Amino acid sequence: MFALILAVLLPSLCFGAFLVLRSAEHEQRFLASTVRERAESAATALDLLLSTSRARLFRLASAAALDPAGMAQFFSRVTNTTAGQHLSVALSDPAGQEIFNTHAQWGDRLPVNPDPEGIRNVVVTGLPYVSDLTIGITGKPVVMLNIPLTRDGKVVYVLSEDILPLLGRLLVQLHLPPDWLCLISDRNGYTLARTRNGDRFVGQVSQPGFLARVRSASQGWFAGTSRDGVPSYVGFTRARLAGWTVAVAIPANELLAPVHHSTHVLVLSGLSILILALLAAFLIARGISRPISRLVAEAQALGGSGLIPFRPTGLQETDDVARSLCNASEQLARHAADRDAAMATLRESEGRFRALAEELGQANAERSKLLHATVVAQEAERARVSRELHDSLGQYLTALHLGLKGIAPDLPPAAAEEAARLSALTAAVGRETKRLAWELRPTALDDLGLETAMRQLIDNWAERSGLAFDLHVALGSERLLPEVETTLYRVLQEALTNAVKHADATRVAIVLDTADAEVRLIVEDDGRGLVERPPSACGAGTGQLGLIGMRERLALVKGRLELECGPGKGTTLFARIPL
């Protein structure tokens, strides 16, 4: 019931939350747009202020007599014009030497103008120039507005006015909200005017993050923290005439206030609705769950030794469940009796199977023992027959060959020819006898090791069959156990026989190495495949006596045999024996 109520209620709550948050975001975007517009308005007002101040200076300069005799009268006119405005006006020659300054008396010795870069710019270009923040003759920060005074098209004087006090008054006239912040910074990032804590921060360089943003763009909007530690969102733009930056910042909590208020309202209303819905769900579920809880005892008793009686619960649905439990208990009782009988039969069968398994295990052990003894006896007999063929029959054949060869000169021509033929036949029988002796048990396997015996076997097959063989051996310096070497040699012998006689191969590759604590023998040919059947059944079926023999030999040394083959894809044999 709770899940049903939540499934119905949550989509409505989510949609309402979406609408509320969307409205709050719209209000937030409106505030952000207002901040950016205020910054643009402040930049426009700054341009207007600079234009007005420049026009006032040009009016003063137009009434000036530019000869030394009229300088005192010009100084008096400028002083009277700026009286009460706390503005500093100075006149400098093109070299930057001040001629008069309203902060000093007429005739006082004056220093070089504190803005030589601005003086040079005006003299070179002949155009007005607004300087960045510098230090005036009083030791306080000043910002000079410089205009040229020309005679015959040549700049003869530069009239400068400190407009820094006007910037602070300009910010006051913007009438920004009390918590908002507006500042003006020059082209080097120094603060010229500030609405909050201006006396503290005017003349200081702005924060690095603010400088990086205003230098990379002429206007923008970003989040940051003001120099007095207030998290804010800042909109900035660049004034056209001076190239200064005007920034307006709104505290983050004021910008995000609509979203926070909407979120609080949404959470409170959503929780209230959710609590009421869950309370209603609880009351409904309680009325349904009481009859169901009466079935707990019957359900817990289900599967016990006794039958469950039918007891009405008051609801049709729960009565149906109670009847089902009663019927299930009867069926379980019958099934339990059948199960006990089946278990008794199964235990009896299991005892017979265990006895058969023990007998089979014993038979397999005896078979393995007998097979091992047979292989050992077979190898011993092979070695004995090999020695007899090599030592006895071989010597007799050699003696017969030499005898026939020795008596040939003393015989008549016909008899000598027959003796020569018999001598050649005896030599051929001797070579065949040596080959049979070597195939039965190569002496190199016992005397020189597995690698040498394998190379002799491959050379013999290469000479007899004309196939190309590739052999790679990486066994290290230590020899393997004799039974392991014998097994690998016999497996290779059988694999080569299959490749030469049945696979119609042209090339055979053999790899013998050790890896992962086992010795591996890989024999791969490019023939027609071991059998004409799918690779999943490769080597399966009856009549594969060679494979059966290889598997039995490998099993005696705890090895295993794997095959990969397919019609026209050749055969790859993997023999692995643990070290």
Which CATH number do you get for residue 460?
Answer: 3.30.565.10
- Find out whether 514 and 473 touch, Cβ atoms under 8 Å: no
Domain residue limits at 504: 447-578
Q: Are residues 362 and 416 in the same domain?
A: yes
Residue 574: its pLDDT value, please? 92
In a domain, 293, yes or no: no
Retrieve residue 387's tokens.
């020695």
Q: Are residues 405 and 520 in the same domain?
A: no
Last residue of a domain, one of 441, 464, 496: 441
| 171 vs 181: CA distance, rounded Å | 10
Helix (H, G, I), strand (E, B) or coil at 255: helix
DSSP structure class, residue 392: I
Q: Are residues 497 and 394 in the same domain?
A: no
Which of 194, 174, 177, 159 is closest to 54 using CA atoms?
159
Residue 68 Cα distances to 74, 99, 153, angstroms: 10, 10, 19
| 148 vs 157: CA distance, rounded Å | 6
Q: Are residues 518 and 573 in the same domain?
A: yes
Full pLDDT tens readout for the chain, 579 residues: 677 777 777 777 777 767 766 766 776 677 778 888 888 888 899 889 889 988 888 888 776 666 666 777 788 888 877 766 667 888 888 888 888 888 788 877 888 888 888 888 888 888 999 988 888 767 788 888 888 988 888 888 888 888 888 888 888 888 888 888 898 988 888 888 888 887 788 888 888 888 888 888 888 888 888 887 888 888 899 888 888 999 998 888 877 776 677 777 777 887 888 788 778 777 777 767 777 776 666 666 665 656 667 667 667 777 777 777 777 777 777 777 788 888 888 888 888 888 888 888 777 777 667 666 676 666 666 666 666 665 666 666 677 767 777 787 777 887 777 777 877 787 777 777 766 665 666 666 766 778 888 888 888 888 888 888 999 988 877 788 888 888 888 898 888 888 888 878 889 999 999 888 899 999 998 888 755 444 444 544 333 667 888 888 888 888 999 988 777 778 899 999 998
List Cβ neighbours of 340 (8 Å cut-off, separation of 6 or more): none
| 475 vs 484: CA distance, rounded Å | 13
| 296 vs 302: CA distance, rounded Å | 10
In a domain, 2, yes or no: no
Q: Are residues 416 and 459 in the same domain?
A: no
Which of 242, 171, 251, 245 is closest to 212 using CA atoms?
245
Q: Tokens 């008549």 label which residue?
A: 412
In a domain, 222, yes or no: no
Q: Are residues 342 and 393 in the same domain?
A: yes
Residue 383: its pLDDT value, please? 64
Q: Which amino acid is at 222?
A: F
CA atoms within 13 A on the CB side of 226: 25
- 468-474 and 507-515 beta bridge pairing: parallel
Q: Are residues 411 and 462 in the same domain?
A: no
List Cβ neighbours of 178 (8 Å cut-off, separation of 6 or more): none
String of DSSP letters for 309-355: PP---SSHHHHHHHHHHHHHHHHHHHHHHHHHHHHHHHHHHHHHHHH
Long-range contact pairs involving 225-232 (C-beta distance under 8 Å, separation at least 24):
226/181, 227/197, 227/201, 228/196, 228/197, 228/201, 230/181, 232/181
Rg, C-alpha atoms of the chain: 56
Q: Are residues 351 and 411 in the same domain?
A: yes
Q: Are residues 569 and 462 in the same domain?
A: yes
Q: Are residues 414 and 478 in the same domain?
A: no
- Find out whether 47 and 238 touch, Cβ atoms under 8 Å: no
Retrieve residue 200's tokens.
């503290």
- Find out whether 234 and 248 touch, Cβ atoms under 8 Å: yes
In a domain, 344, yes or no: yes
In a domain, 560, yes or no: yes
Percent helix, strand and coil across the chain, each to the nearest 5: 60, 20, 25
In a domain, 566, yes or no: yes
Last residue of a domain, one of 385, 408, 441: 441
Last residue of a domain, one of 441, 462, 481: 441
Which of 289, 278, 329, 286 is closest to 308 using CA atoms?
329
Residue 257 Cα distances to 16, 252, 253, angstroms: 19, 8, 6
Question: What is the side-by-side order of every strand in the sheet holding 154-162?
Answer: 98-101, 89-92, 154-162, 144-151, 129-130
Q: What are phi and psi of 160, to 5 degrees?
A: -125, 145
Residue 301: its pLDDT value, please? 64
In a domain, 136, yes or no: no
Q: What are phi and psi of 230, to 5 degrees?
A: -100, 120
Q: Are residues 403 and 500 in the same domain?
A: no
Neighbours of 29 (CB within 10 A): 12
Between helices 450-465 and 413-440, what is the axis angle to 10°?
130
Report the length, in residues, of the chain. 579
Residue 101 Cα distances to 61, 113, 159, 548, angstroms: 15, 10, 10, 119
- Find out whether 9 and 273 touch, Cβ atoms under 8 Å: yes
- Find out whether 520 and 514 touch, Cβ atoms under 8 Å: yes
Residue 577: its pLDDT value, please? 92
Between helices 2-62 and 257-293, what is the axis angle to 10°?
180
| 161 vs 91: CA distance, rounded Å | 9
Retrieve residue 379's tokens.
């190898």
Q: What are phi and psi of 307, to 5 degrees?
A: -90, 150
Q: Is the dihedral of CA 34, 39, 45, 47 positive or negative?
A: negative
Q: Are residues 458 and 573 in the same domain?
A: yes
- Tally of structural domains, the chain: 2
In a domain, 169, yes or no: no
Residue 575: its pLDDT value, please? 92
| 468 vs 461: CA distance, rounded Å | 10
